[in-house]
Amino acid sequence: MTTEVKDTIEIDGSQGEGGGQILRTALALSLITGRAFSLVNIRAKRPKPGLMRQHLACVQAAVAVGGGAVHCHALGGDGAPAQIGATQLVFTPGPVAGGDYAFAVGSAGSCMLVLQTVLWPLAMATQPSTLTLRGGTHNPMAPSYTFLSHLAPYFAGAGPALFEMELGRHGFYPAGGGEVQVRIQPPAGALSPIALTRRGALVQAWAECLHAGIPRSVAERELGVLQRALDWQPDQLRNRGLRSNEGPGNALQVVLQFEHIAEVLTAFGDKGVSAEEVARQVLREVQAYLAHSAPVGEHLADQLMLPLALAGLQGNKGQYWATTWSEHARTNARVIEQFLPVRFTTQALDGGVLVGMAAASARWS
């Protein structure tokens, strides 16, 4: 997919929710479209603005899949290669090639965000890819390995899954050290349309507590809160003690598997936060989702925007019904619309939002 327009796109990183998603979406679409971009005010609305280590890892991964430093350039405001703390970035993409890649965040930062950056450029390449990702696998404020592994089939619409994941080692904040293998298989033809407007019947529901380097009783208390509140059976409660060297860490996850969609909701243990409060955090999200009828949860709604737009440009328009349309999603939409000749449409529907796409006036091939 290329465009006849080769101008540099100017992006303000302070717009909307002002976080790292602006950077990751811009990197992905720059690689896909071949259009350079200039990003200022990177992560301006975060407590520590600028590129953190995990964001720099995303930039470096984009350079690698874009032909390496010979063809692809990522420069800070001073014209030197981008560094941690940079608040400006000029990115010039190169040709994307599938292959074998290894990316390490170098901290407990989320390696799943690195995957988010390169997934769609590699999914639209002509050859399959294998990624080895190292860093955090289960992080607050980022999609977890569990979330992405359960939801991978839905990114492909009605077509075969575009990627598969295998966890080698968990990684929690602050130690990190996780490792994930990802296999990306581009579709033989065009991307299939995203069409998610029904949940169907609830097939399975369970809670899983991942814990390493903390007392097993913490997990028992967390799962006990969910059991009592949701009236679940013992076989729906999974207490997964991990190797001590994978921690310390604690993630309480609930998986809801319906006929046509899955939802994964997670809360993380932290110093000074009781096991009961961790459980109540995820319980509130579970109850809110179950009280709704829309199939697509808030975080999946963000993730589906790129495949929805890319498939639509290939003639396969789709739509999905989301429980909410967050500021994060609205910001992501504005960035996508700067790169692609599309316009996202939203329509209120039974307390949620029906998300679709309309073509803008531009010629693409």
Crossing angle of the two packed helices 112-123 and 53-65, in degrees rounded to 10: 20
Q: How far is CA 91 from CA 56, 62, 146, 365, in A?
A: 12, 9, 31, 22
User: Active-site residue among 71, 260, 292, 328?
Assistant: 328
Q: Which of 329, 331, 336, 332 is nearest to 358 (CA)?
A: 336
> In the numeric block, which tokens belong to residue 362?
């531009």
Give, in degrees to the nearest 5, the angle at Cα 247 between 243 and 253.
90
Q: Which of 86, 72, 114, 83 is nearest to 13 (CA)?
A: 86
Please say whether the beta carbons of 191 and 307 come within 8 A.
yes
Q: Confirm whether 328 is a catalytic residue.
A: yes
Q: Hey, CA dihedral for 332, 100, 162, 152, is it positive or negative?
A: negative
Question: Any bridge partners for residue 169, and if so which?
Answer: 179
Cβ-based neighbour number of residue 279 at 10 Å? 25
CB burial of residue 162 (10 Å; 0-12, 13-18, 19+):
buried
Q: Annotated catalytic sites, by residue?
A: 328
